[in-house]
Chains A and B, each alone.
Chain A
Amino acid sequence: MLGQNVNNDKDRELVEQVLKRDDEAFRVLIKDNQRLVFSIVFKMLNNNADSKDVCQDIFIKVYQSLPGFNFNSKLSTWIARIAYNTCINHLRKHKIQLLDDVIHSSDEERIDENNPIDFIEDTNAIRPDKVLYLNEMKQHLEVEMQLLSPVLRTILVLYHQEERSYEEIAEIVKIPIGTVKSYLFRARSNLKNSILKKYKKEDLL
């Protein structure tokens, strides 16, 4: 709670400075939040060529909308929300589906539970083949992530990379906390299963 107040005070001070047209303060605001904005935009738009321009537009919108920021949430959450809304508008303009069937996928997609892959059982031991496996896994993960819907990708990135709480994600994406959890659990489950499925297929070749 104390940490949140400290953050709020820091946010308030920074916003006041930016509103006084202090370019240095605005530079600090950009630097503090650019990673978050880039993560959201690049994941939602799938590294689309427009992504950098969209990031710039987001910070311009932040600047223009700042007088209306009422400190009901953290500044970074508010900025993330603007980033998310901008991406949603961009995707809608390009008629890209925001949420796909992966949320409602049935258990048919699950791998055969009686045949788990044995080479990942011993995760505590660091072996050369495991390092190789982890690197490969990351590559597969990137590919599989791109197949997820933009909203699911964003929720995964906000939770795992940006370490945002369920409450913050719910505020950014404007869905109930329970739905955030459910999307997150389902997305991870599907992600894991599809990666394992791919490994099994490749093993057969």
Chain B
Amino acid sequence: MNTHLTDTELQQIVEEAAGYATEKQSEHLNACSLCTAKKNEYEILFGSLKEMESVLIPESFSEGVIGAVEEIREKRSRVVQAVFYISASVIAFIVLLITVLNAGGLQGASQSVVLSLCFTSFVYVCIIEGYGLLHNHKATLEDITL
């Protein structure tokens, strides 16, 4: 085997250890100082790649992650709570409206006061909880998106 070994062949030989080389390749390596030198260079490179310094992991890393996950769980429970409040206030408003209308309606000023109070509470719950819901939903989406 007179032709020099290719870089790929040399890397395969280093990767798979000496057993990988064919008889012809071994013969060539024994006779050719150029290929032997290149093989040695790869051996050093492979060793250095393996021994490269690993990244230092902060000791509190796992606690930080668990804390962050806990916050997300809380956010989710707040979302569920907000959805519950909004749904409950919508249902209550509709029920009240139907009840008032079915009863023939309240008279004049009383009707306006009751409906205004109901409507104001409904809008208040929707604004407060809706804002919280949208805010949390946006943050949660950002966390989840892969």
Chain A binding surface SS class = helix
Question: Which residues 50-102 of A have a CB within 8 angstroms of B?
Answer: 52, 55-57, 59-61, 63-65, 82, 85-86, 89
Q: State the total of A-B contacts with C-beta under 8 angstroms.
A: 118
Contacts of A63 in B (CB 8 A): 65, 69, 72
Main SS class of interface, B: helix
Measured between beta carbons, the chain B residues less than 8 angstroms from A31 are: 62
Chain B residues within an 8 Å CB radius of A192: 41-42, 45
**CB-CB nearest in chain B for A26:** B66
Q: Which residues of A contact B (CB under 8 A)?
A: 23, 26-27, 30-31, 34-35, 38-39, 42, 52, 55-57, 59-61, 63-65, 82, 85-86, 89, 113-114, 116-118, 120-123, 134, 137-138, 141-142, 145, 156-157, 160-161, 185, 188-189, 191-192, 195-196
Distance (whole angstroms) from the CB of B70 to the closest CB of chain A: 8
Contacting pair B68 A60 (CB below 8 A) = yes
Please tell me the size bucket of the interface on B: 35 or more
Expressed in whole angstroms, the minimum distance between the Cβ of B49 and any Cβ of chain A is 4
| Distance between A188 CB and nearest chain B CB, rounded to angstroms | 6
Would you call A189 and B11 a contact (CB within 8 A)?
A: yes
